[in-house]
Structure 1
């Protein structure tokens, strides 16, 4: 199968390309930087420079690859993290990724239609952003939290846009949990080691995690099976911050995290950080395991954090 990966040099793309190549697929992967074409070649892909926000650039790249499936992995999260996390101003911090999840999505869908590409798989998001009502663990049938009135509102709208447009096009939206693995959590670990990543309130908010290799393997299955619909791509153990954050600190060789009351965290880091740490909802992976036949290398973040950091 010919597979086109938009965003091949990101943390997921770097794990996804080799998995697809190893299973016999012909992969074309994009980068925004000519300097990274050699990396894509080493991973086994045909590299192409593409600007996901330039409709003509996307159309040329897709037409040249003649793929059977397009995989949308374009984000600017690594760029955002390089400038350090800013949840207090998440609207500004994540603005480039919002554009790639909306304008970039539109450009890929238009290019797919023009080139006759029948299938698309897109990266979505399911970490702590389940609707803040009812139980702590949500399925694909539960709505995502719109986070209205917060700095996360635009970002959450972009996630829903990816889901809606992908399903409308007959593709698969893969809602990745909090990604960890090589290069994915370096900024968080740095803050933890500096004791600048505190527990907020009782740390009762839930999150769901997934290792990069498991996110990539789920994507391979969705590509090969030409899957449709929305899937939560998370591990088996959604957990409150009061459990995963101290354990991540332990694995990182850091002191236990400090504890901040909600009023202080709200003042320093903003409302989104408080909601995430105290009211966040995690996700179930039952549908992905059942319908994709997905098997995780790291069923729990407990195994994955330890393997990644020790």
Structure 2
């Protein structure tokens, strides 16, 4: 996300200090036009020193640690570091913001398929998020934590849909091509997607307009898995996904994967378009998938 956001901010004349967890990426951030610093988001002193040195007008909280092979069966274990960054890391950033007089914070949240599993298939910001599948409860609690904390601090929370685009699509395409991403049940669960560049542009608007509250940052077409997964496979030159019954998928892939595939709820972007004036380059995942995989 940072690799797409920093150039947009720099192009609009902003001075950006970008953080990384190690020196290996400092040169990359500098090439993108940012002043680069090493910061440990889980160390209060490191965060406080970095924010004090940068003296920013605003802070964008994009800290995650979602790396390595996806593990939907053990989501809370896979997301363990990100869970800490969304709880402890959020606390450290907000404390540093208060200590240095930073008046505006924008934070990353998620709105891919985690709307409350009752009622319609497409949710607004007024609808609650789902408590989460059994193997992702801690992760879902961390999402609610960052949202509550940032809104309480009068900041903006951007619920990005399932991100795709440069650097984010490869991990999804590999299992699709290997037929390791089957369609579970009827594939009736809905998903909301957003291209990285569109997510970045929404973030720029939220910063420049000093937006407050929660915004769903998703494309115009929430869709059931039975539509987007075969389409993605076709664009990737893969065979049509296999179909696996729910009873078999649950012990193999875990509760989160089955929930996403069969009960997931998508999201509406009407508020972000209306209040931020957000315009999408990729209004549909169909266009985005086709361009990414051309």
String of CA shifts for 1:54-99, please: whole Å, max 9, x gaps: 000000000000000000000001x2xx2x1111111111111100
Given candidates 121, 136, 156, the residue that maps to 2:106 is: 121
Given candidates 62, 75, 88, the residue that maps to 1:103 is: 88
Following superposition, the deviation at residue 185 of structure 1 comes to 2.3
Q: Is 1:87 equivalent to 2:76 in the alignment? A: no
Q: Is 1:275 equivalent to 2:275 in the alignment? A: no
Q: Residue 135 of structure 2 aligns to a residue in which SS? A: coil
Deviates more, 1:184-193 or 1:14-23: 184-193
TM alignment of 1:56-95, pairs within 5 A: 56-77=45-66, 79=67, 82=68, 84-95=69-80
TM-score, normalised on structure 1?
Answer: 0.94
Q: Is 1:246 equivalent to 2:230 in the alignment? A: yes
String of CA shifts for 1:119-157, please: whole Å, max 9, x gaps: 000000000000000000000000000126x01111111
Following superposition, the deviation at residue 259 of structure 1 comes to 0.3
Given candidates 23, 39, 60, the residue that maps to 2:28 is: 39
String of CA shifts for 1:11-44, please: whole Å, max 9, x gaps: x100000000000000000001101110011000
Q: Is 1:291 equivalent to 2:280 in the alignment? A: no
Distance in 1 between residues matched to 2:132 and 2:63, nearest whole Å: 23
Runs of 4+ aligned residues of structure 1 deviating over 3 Å after TM superposition are none
TM-score, normalised on structure 2?
Answer: 0.99
Count of residue correspondences: 294
Q: Unaligned 5+ residue runs, structure 1? A: 1-11
Match of 1:28 in 2: 17
Distance in 2 between residues matched to 1:106 and 1:251, nearest whole Å: 42
Q: Is 1:112 equivalent to 2:101 in the alignment? A: no
Given candidates 121, 125, 128, the residue that maps to 1:136 is: 121
Given candidates 229, 245, 248, the residue that maps to 1:264 is: 248
Q: Is 1:156 equivalent to 2:140 in the alignment? A: yes
Q: Residue 287 of structure 1 aligns to a residue in which SS? A: helix
Distance in 2 between residues matched to 1:45 and 1:88, nearest whole Å: 37
Distance in 1 between residues matched to 2:88 and 2:237, nearest whole Å: 41
Q: Residue 165 of structure 1 aligns to a residue in which SS? A: helix
Distance in 2 between residues matched to 1:17 and 1:51, nearest whole Å: 19
Distance in 2 between residues matched to 1:252 and 1:106, nearest whole Å: 41
Q: Unaligned 5+ residue runs, structure 2? A: none
Match of 2:5 in 1: 16
Distance in 1 between residues matched to 2:169 and 2:258, nearest whole Å: 20
Across the aligned residues of Structure 1 and Structure 2, the Cα RMSD in angstroms comes to 0.6
Q: Residue 215 of structure 2 aligns to a residue in which SS? A: strand
Q: Is 1:303 equivalent to 2:272 in the alignment? A: no
